[in-house]
Chains A and B, each alone.
Chain A
Amino acid sequence: MNPDLIERTRLSASLGYMMEDYVRAIDTDDLERWPDFFEPDCIYKVTSRENVEAGLPFGVIYADSRAMLQDRVKSLRDANIYEGQSYRHLIGRPWVTQVDGETVRAETSFMVVRIMRDGQSTLFATGVYQDVLRVTPEAIRLRERIVVCDSSRVDTLMALPL
């Protein structure tokens, strides 16, 4: 194996560790931790492959600061009404596409099953996280996470984040 490949594999494992923690925060209803995976100045967008391929910039969710993500959590807790539900994320291994100093780009597949209060479990979303991450010895944080869903359909509502 060439050194570059070894380095990328190592990096992928580190990113993967962080991403497992990210989905755990959502799946275990520890949503208050979710914004902490982002830099204060960040982009979080949920969109679809259809929009991305057509060059259309808007999606279902758009935030350009960690504060907006914290507001979303606060809104979900205190203002919005939705039936009891939880997610189960399954994520693939991060595929590192670019390394530039402490800035790393990676793509990671995900599947999300949504479990409703009556026990109904459905495949809610599949897609890829297109990430720009800041990797330092202290932490790995998201500078940008574009959640590209494979389908443009959203069933009923998307209360919890992906």
Chain B
Amino acid sequence: MTESSRTPWPRDDLTRVPYWVYDAPEVYRQEQESIYFGPVWNYLGLEAEIPQSGDYKTTFVGDMPVVVTRAADGGVHAFENRCAHRGALLALKNKGRAKDFVCVYHAWRHDCEGNLLNATFSRGVNGEGGMPSDFDRAHYGPRKLRVTTLCGLIFGTLSDETPPIEEYIGEPVLARLKRVLHKPLRIYGTYNQVLPNNWKLYFENVKDTYHSSLLHTFFATFKVSRLSQGGGVIVSESGGNHVSYSLTHQGGEDSEFDKERLRANQEEQFTLQDKSVLNIVDEFGDGCHVQILSVFPGFVLQAIHNSLAIRHIQPKGTEETHLIWNLIGFEDDDEQMQVTRMKHANLVGPAGFVSMEDGAVGGFVQRGSAGSPNESTVVLMGGSSTETSTSRASENSIRGFWKQYRQLVSL
């Protein structure tokens, strides 16, 4: 569909989202420019991934490949993973340790902060060839990102306008982030879940508290998580960051579910033979055992029971998204806690009892809406508000996402 033939999207409407935003190539291109290169903090990784000087990892900011390093002074740096000469990748591994980054193509050498140190034979060979005399290597380094760290997380931005990370996240969401990431982190495992859908469908899914006990019937069947249990949704003023949390359910029948005659309540009750997967350690001491937090445009922090994880949402074209999971804990976890976290990790991820459906449901929307680019998805639960809400039967945080999105991307 061409830009001119698509249905316009009323400027102030967050309760309808036209399906063309999920598959139009020009929208994807505009997002690269307006979002990832714009005034946002892009999640780059964990400090624990690059603990020593010289350690590096590679990642992406939108489509742009990025190297994240720890320099000799211990500081964290990030620069585009592209030699400014001919555009080849500078780092060819997911992770490693390096004194410098030498492009394999023509051996241009860079330091760990992304400065070009040497352009090979720039003065020519035997007095012939070489770069023009006014060649200044200071202008031929890879693009650098401004980097900030917070609670062991690394974020980077390409815009001078991006406010400090604390301000960007916003106080109420920041407090819930610090609640979880309150001491040195440890990485337990990683994997990449490839989602067959546009990145926005996944980010909406993360912010969608309405679906959780309806699509995911594992918890519901055990009466662990219900919309009627205590909790809430906090949306940042920008709209793009959110946290949803629920308090421990008191157990017993859930009359709200019975009224709606839902699938989960009509089936026979099934009980787990090994209940250890549900044994929770109240590690934050506040009785809150499910919290999902997101920071626009690509960061998710999960604390589901004792399974803690970072999920990094990486767009890969209009209809594919990589979700990079890092399962984490704390440096001072004892062996028992490690086993508890490993068991609770069964609840989430591509094989998660609770949330395996999230891997597929974005694809259901992508395929379901393929013939209706000019129709719109409905985001009306809870009205048109993008405010913090005590009800999880609302879509405030999804509208919040579109609020920040539309501020950045003019469509």
Interface of A with B (CB < 8 Å)? 46-48, 50-51, 56-65, 67-68, 70-72, 74-75, 78-83, 152-159
Contact = CB atoms under 8 A, between A and B. Distances in A.
Interface string B341-373: 111011001110100110110010000000000
Contact of A154 (B94, B189, B193, B267): B193
A158 B192 CA distance: 12
Nearest to A70: B273
Contact of A71 (B193, B274, B356): B274
Interface in B93-109: 94
A106 B215 CA distance: 40
- Which of B327, B350, B353: most chain A Cβ within 10 A? B350
B200 to A, nearest CB: 17
Contacts of B188: 56-58
A143 to B, nearest CB: 17
A108 to B, nearest CB: 21
Contacts of A82: 356-357, 360
Given A48-B191, A71-B277, A158-B356, A60 B350 contact: yes
Nearest to A46: B351
B338 interface: yes
Contacts of B270: 74, 78-79
Contacts of B195: 156
Contacts of A64: 276, 339, 343
Given A46-B351, A157-B360, A75 B191 contact: no
Contacts of A72: 346, 353
A159 B342 contact: no
Interface string B212-223: 000101100100
A156 B272 contact: no
Contacts of B341: 58
Given A63-B346, A154-B193, 11 more contacts: A58-B341, A60-B349, A60-B351, A63-B274, A70-B273, A71-B272, A71-B274, A74-B270, A79-B221, A158-B351, A158-B356
B194 interface: yes
Contacts of A155: 194, 196
A158 B353 CA distance: 10
Given A60-B351, A61-B351, A75-B218, A83 B346 contact: no
27 contacts: A47-B189, A48-B191, A51-B189, A56-B187, A56-B188, A56-B190, A57-B188, A58-B188, A58-B342, A60-B191, A64-B343, A68-B274, A68-B276, A68-B277, A71-B277, A78-B267, A78-B268, A79-B217, A79-B270, A79-B353, A153-B193, A154-B194, A154-B350, A156-B195, A156-B363, A157-B357, A158-B356
A156 B359 contact: yes
Nearest to B195: A156
B256 to A, nearest CB: 19
Contact of B346 (A47, A61, A81, A153): A61
Contact of B357 (A46, A74, A80): A80
A19 B134 CA distance: 69
3 shortest A-B CB distances, which residue pairs? A58-B189, A157-B359, A67-B274
A31 to B, nearest CB: 14
B357 A56 contact: no
A61 B342 CA distance: 9
A156 B273 contact: no
Contacts of A62: 342-343, 345-346
B44 to A, nearest CB: 18
Given A56-B189, A67-B273, A159 B356 contact: yes
Nearest to B221: A79
Contacts of A58: 188-189, 327, 341-342, 345
